[in-house]
Structure 1
Amino acid sequence: MEIVCVTGAGGYVASWVVKELLAKGYFVHGTVRNPADEKKNGHLKKLKHAEEKLHLFKADMLDYASLCTAMDGCTGVVHIATPVPAGKVADPQAEMLEPAITGTRNVMNACLKTKVKKVVVVSSVLAIVANPSWPKNQVTDENRWSDVEFCMKNDKWYSAAKAISEREALEFGKKNNLKVVTVCPSVVFGPMLQSTICTTNIILLNLFKGENSLNLIEFDNAQDDIYIPIVDVRDCANALLLAYEKPEADGRYLCSSHVLKMKALVELLKSLFPHYIYPTDFPALDEKLNYTCEKMVNLGWNYMSLEKTLVDSVETFQKNGLLS
């Protein structure tokens, strides 16, 4: 069976990708900063088939040589690793923008050197939506790109980094005859395989504590009753595998299964888990949001109910002692 390299293998989405690849019989090369760090990577070693089919490599996205070592012998790569700060950083251009872009360039060049046949690059819905000139009545799909200049002027550094990296990766593929597919997941909720909590699940967890912390992610008016696009981490992993396995997969894919307003999300959580204190103040916004993931669905993708995502998320929060 072929070998697939997963960058940032210990992360939230990447862990599920590793799990699914192993379950399907693939050998996996996972890049991590420190393979001996049990807190960050121990959960990977416990996955079914990990002992015989998972090899963790010490690699850094800014270290081209280490990436070449990890990708040696691989048929494909799923590039997920990216800097995601939990809050404000002192120098966003140096700490977010430049590492993300340089890291993706290193990955693409390493793929070329090691003769990888296909690369799936994980981008973000934030590489799509930060574009104020997109017509308000037009459905948001893969043709919409975040306006990089607008992002940098408005401190949306993560959005800018994702948009630049994704576009560069697609162009690199075309220039070098390398098959590159990009997937843009929305806000990812769902059960965690690791014990450390990620940025998106912090948002969900904080809602149970009466806090609206959507401002951790670069959406406009994040304290208001805005629309939030959500995808389950398991559905996201399946989307990435479809993008990798399907020969017809091409270009860019938006990956989001549910869109609802923050107030509606809180009401749903209340109905499922009535014993928590929830935020109550969501100033109304007269805005509409219409996404289509038809392209991803046409690839054979389907997704679970939002209720299941939320119930399973809470189960892992409780298991890891994150909810009293």
Structure 2
Amino acid sequence: MMFMQVDMIPPAVVGTRNVLDACSKAKAKRVVVVSSIGAVIVNPNWPKDQAMDEECWSDQDFCKTTQKYYCLAKTIAESEAVEYAKKRELDIVTVCPSIVIGPMLQPTVNASSLLLLTILKGGHESMEDNIRYLVDVRDVAEAILLVYEKPEAKGRYICTSYTMKMQALVNKLKGMYPNYNFPKSFTEVDDNNKLSSEKLQELGWKYRPLEESIVDAVKNYEERGLLLKE
């Protein structure tokens, strides 16, 4: 895990700073930094009965303690961007997407795509019934364009569409694609945090039906041969 800490954090932070330096020199009118809900949701002190919104930041010390280095890297990088905006008077807006599903554009499978692929390809008799926050890749692209173009967009924006427990997601996939090998059982997890995209929706953002995202994702995986048995 120490390797992951050394490996992930400097590129995220230094890379963000380098891009912002270039934008500042180019006198960019607005910069949209794509962060992650990883910079939002790892906060044990947030009230359990209150949906996490843009005021919620992942606790850096808790990320270190629990070895959530991806979330730590995203939190530090986004915090750096916010501070950079204050010091350089650069107009920066951040977008924090959740797990991105839908058709893949990139040639290799990323962590978000693995969520549906892992469920569909099987091999797991049991899974933890924890919460997953989902958003379509095309809706993320529209959110980024929206906050870039809207003059009134300020600060950070959580970008997520659906909150589902793993068992509910598997049952939906099973109803749509009954011939795949799905997990047989689920382990209960105390995981009931809510996540709000209300601020982004108030700006005019809309998202597509979950079924559309799933259908287009699975079709894309099938066309790429990603669902073939190894």
| Fold-level similarity (TM above 0.5) | yes
Instruction: Figure out how many residues of one structure are paired with residues of the other and give that number.
Output: 226
- Tell me the alpha carbon deviations over residues 251-283 of structure 1, each in whole angstroms, 9 at most, x when there is no partner: 000000000100000000000000000112321
Amino acid at match of 2:13: I
Paired letter, 2:42: A
Q: What is the CA-CA distance between 1:211 and the residue it aligns to?
A: 4.4
Who is 1:321 aligned against?
A: 225
Q: Match for 2:199: what amino acid?
A: K
- Whole-angstrom distance in 2 between the partners of 1:133 and 1:289: 12
Identity of aligned residues (%): 49
CA gap of 1:90–1:149, structure 2 versus 1, over 3 A, is closer
1:161 to 73, 83, 90: 73
Q: RCO higher in 1 or 2 (8 Å CA, sep ≥ 6)?
A: 2
Look up the match of 2:90. 178
| TM-fit CA distance, 1:101 | 0.6
Measured after TM superposition, the shift of residue 174 of structure 1 is: 1.7
Deviations 1:119-149 (A, max 9, x none): 1001101100001111111111111100001
Query: What residue number does 1:278 align with?
Result: 182
| Amino acid in the other structure paired with 2:149 | E
Distance in structure 2 (CA, Å) of the matches to 1:224 and 1:323? 22
**Structure 2 counterpart of 1:150, from 58, 62, 72:** 62
Counterparts of 2:14 and 2:88, CA distance in 1: 18
Q: How does 1:82-101 map to 2 (within 5 A)?
A: 91-101=3-13
Determine the structure 2 residue equivalent to 1:125.
37
Quick check: 1:127–1:146 contact (8 Å CA) kept in 2? yes
Q: Distance in 2 between matches of 1:121 and 1:100?
A: 12
**1:196-207 → structure 2 map (5 Å cutoff):** 196-207=108-119
TM-score normalised over the length of structure 1: 0.68
Q: Give the letter for the 1:307 counterpart.
A: E
1:259 counterpart = 2:163: yes
Matching of residues 29-108 of structure 1 within 5 Å: 91-108=3-20
Query: Distance in 1 between the 2:81 and 2:216 partners?
Result: 34
Partner of 1:307: 211
CA RMSD after TM alignment: 1.3
| TM-score normalised by structure 2 residue count | 0.94
2:186 counterpart of 1:297: no
Match of 1:269 in 2: 173
Could you tell me which runs of 5 or more consecutive residues in structure 1 were left unpaired when the two chains were aligned. Answer: 1-88, 213-222
Residue in structure 2 matching 1:226, options 115, 130, 146? 130
Q: Give deviations 1:25-56, integer Å, cap 9, x for gaps.
A: xxxxxxxxxxxxxxxxxxxxxxxxxxxxxxxx
